[in-house]
Amino acid sequence: MTERAQSGTDVVANGWRLALPAVVLAFLAILALYRETAMTMVEIWSRSETFAHGFLVAPITLWLIWRIRSDVARLSPRPSALALVGVVAAGFFWLLGELATVGVLSQFALTTMVVLTVPAVLGLQVAWRIAFPLAFLYFSVPFGEFALPQLMEWTADYAILGLRLSGIPVYREGLHFVIPSGSWSVVEACSGVRYLIASLTVGTLFAYLNYHSLIRRLVFVGIAFIVPVIANWLRAYMIVMLGHFSGNALAVGVDHLIYGWVFFGVVIMIMFWVGSRWREDEFSSPVVLSAVASEQSTGEHSSSLLCALMLIVLAPIWPLAQWHIERSLPHEANQLETLGPIDNWPVVPDQLTGWTPRFENPSAKMQNTFGSDGQKVGLYIAYYRNQDYSRKMVSSANVLVSTNNLMWTQVARGTRQIVLNQQPIVVRSAELRSVDSSRMLVWQWYWVNGHVTASDYKAKAYTALSRLTGQGDDSAVIVAYALMDEAGGAETALEAFIHAAGPVIERALTRTREEK
């Protein structure tokens, strides 16, 4: 090695002596400032089998970087101001997630802040060299349960299709179906979301370690997505068939889940075995070390520490903004303002049914039955104020019927356009069936500080915007329901009731919001 090249190598080494502690310091500062979000992720990993792999993501990332440490060490750390701006922008999205109580948004934002800290302090060239290990950190975010309803629907569709192709008669209602040997239900554990997330995580890592062509990597990741979905359909079909031919002696209870994981393990092993046949030999990409002036490099390396200090100064902006917003929270809404009279729809003493939607920890709620010309309609309103992660209106835990409800089952869902306060809106529509075979039509929508929507995403966006502009987060879920008959009277009754009650409900919610 020439004296000039040796000098350049020494300068790079000296630069890492400053840059490496600087980036570690920045990591620790971010994790300390946003520790509640980080601890929430750890808590989810510890209690959920679906996301238990989160404990392994950071160690795997460090190992992946360690494998190429010699290549990374040859690069000269050069901080990026653009990436520093990206860290600050990610912090703003963290704030939005906290204001809207969307934990996954806050967690993705925190992970993005950690990822962008690398190019901010060490430079784009270093970040590009370790791009995959950094991207792999996103698998630590507990994300994917939003797909549960769709995966459950697909599982029911294809299990029933397989049964019918096998000559077994099936009667289906929603996610429940009956065959001659017994009844079955597709519940959350049958959705296959655990298999899908596990397959994507391990499959992506396999693709990175075994292929160098981007096309091959993407193809294998696509296969890692498709295979567990189809395998779960086959698993559900085979479990029902085992139960059917064994007189329900096999594939029920605990062994139901054991058979599922054994089958999934075999499928994944076959997928990896087939994928390894197209493995590409490892190669080392050349890293060019340019000889630069010692004085210039020293200045650049010192700026790594300066950039880390700037990041530490800027990072607290968003937690401070959250603290400022929350310190001015209004008092709790202990009761909902009375509705007042509704034209031609007086309150009747007899409850329509014993059913109540499951919305957890509202600030206030009411449920009444109204009658008109022999028709009855039930109305449920749950009001939320000062929402947090233990009490929020839009949550996967807040549903019309829980999966463990022994009295009622949701057998259909969709949307319906209605006229509310002389404005057309789309509401959620659901059909429920009780154990005595009676049926009920349910319409549901949200009210967020005067905004009306049936969308979870819009409701969250309205909540974040409202809190960000200092208007609070007063929100309510409104559920109207009526028993169904063959003449279709439930829909007619709901339309008539909402036409009369819409303005009354709006006034009651507005008065409740103003009583702060």
Closest CA to 196 of 145, 255, 160, 242: 145
Neighbouring residues of 21: CB distance < 8 A, sequence distance ≥ 6 = 305
The predicted pLDDT at position 1 comes to 47
This prediction has a pTM of 0.86
The answer to the question of residue 468 being in a domain is yes
The reply to whether 35 and 51 lie within a common domain is: yes
The reply to whether 308 and 436 lie within a common domain is: no
Q: Which two tokens stand for residue 242?
A: 């085992």
The answer to the question of residue 48 being in a domain is yes
The predicted pLDDT at position 13 comes to 61
The reply to whether 131 and 219 lie within a common domain is: no
The reply to whether 491 and 369 lie within a common domain is: yes
The answer to the question of residue 368 being in a domain is yes
The reply to whether 136 and 150 lie within a common domain is: no
The reply to whether 298 and 182 lie within a common domain is: no
The answer to the question of residue 331 being in a domain is no
Distance CA 89, CA 82 (A): 11
The answer to the question of residue 473 being in a domain is yes
The answer to the question of residue 350 being in a domain is no
The predicted pLDDT at position 240 comes to 86
CA separation, residue 215 to residues 68, 127, 211, 279, 479 (Å)? 22, 22, 9, 13, 49
The predicted pLDDT at position 475 comes to 96
Domain encompassing residue 36 = 3-141+291-326
> Interhelix angle for 294-314 vs 103-122, to 10°?
160
The reply to whether 216 and 164 lie within a common domain is: yes
The predicted pLDDT at position 45 comes to 95
Residues in the chain: 516
CA separation, residue 499 to residues 292, 426, 449, 494, 496 (Å)? 76, 14, 21, 8, 5
Structurally, how many domains does the chain consist of?
3
The predicted pLDDT at position 189 comes to 74
- Among 217, 246, 276, the domain boundary falls at 276
The tens place of each residue's pLDDT in the chain, 516 residues long, gives 454 444 445 545 657 888 899 999 999 999 999 999 999 999 999 998 889 999 999 999 999 999 999 999 989 899 999 999 999 999 999 999 999 999 999 999 999 999 999 999 999 999 999 999 999 999 999 998 888 888 989 999 999 999 999 999 998 888 888 898 888 888 777 788 888 999 999 999 999 999 989 999 999 999 999 999 998 888 888 888 888 887 766 655 545 555 666 777 888 888 989 888 888 865 544 444 443 434 444 445 568 889 999 999 999 999 999 999 988 878 887 889 999 899 999 999 888 888 999 999 999 999 999 999 889 999 999 999 999 998 999 998 899 998 778 889 898 889 999 999 888 999 999 999 998 889 999 999 999 999 999 999 999 999 999 999 989 999 999 999 999 886 678 999 999 999 999 999 999 999 999 886
The reply to whether 379 and 321 lie within a common domain is: no
Q: Which two tokens stand for residue 329?
A: 């929270």
CA separation, residue 331 to residues 271, 327, 384, 394, 508 (Å)? 57, 11, 12, 21, 18
Q: What does DSSP assign to residue 145?
A: G
The answer to the question of residue 348 being in a domain is no
Distance CA 212, CA 417 (A): 51
Distance CA 233, CA 415 (A): 27
The reply to whether 70 and 176 lie within a common domain is: no
The reply to whether 377 and 507 lie within a common domain is: yes
The answer to the question of residue 359 being in a domain is no
The reply to whether 268 and 225 lie within a common domain is: yes
Rg over alpha carbons for the chain, rounded to the nearest Å, is 28
The predicted pLDDT at position 296 comes to 43
The reply to whether 173 and 98 lie within a common domain is: no
Distance CA 180, CA 169 (A): 7
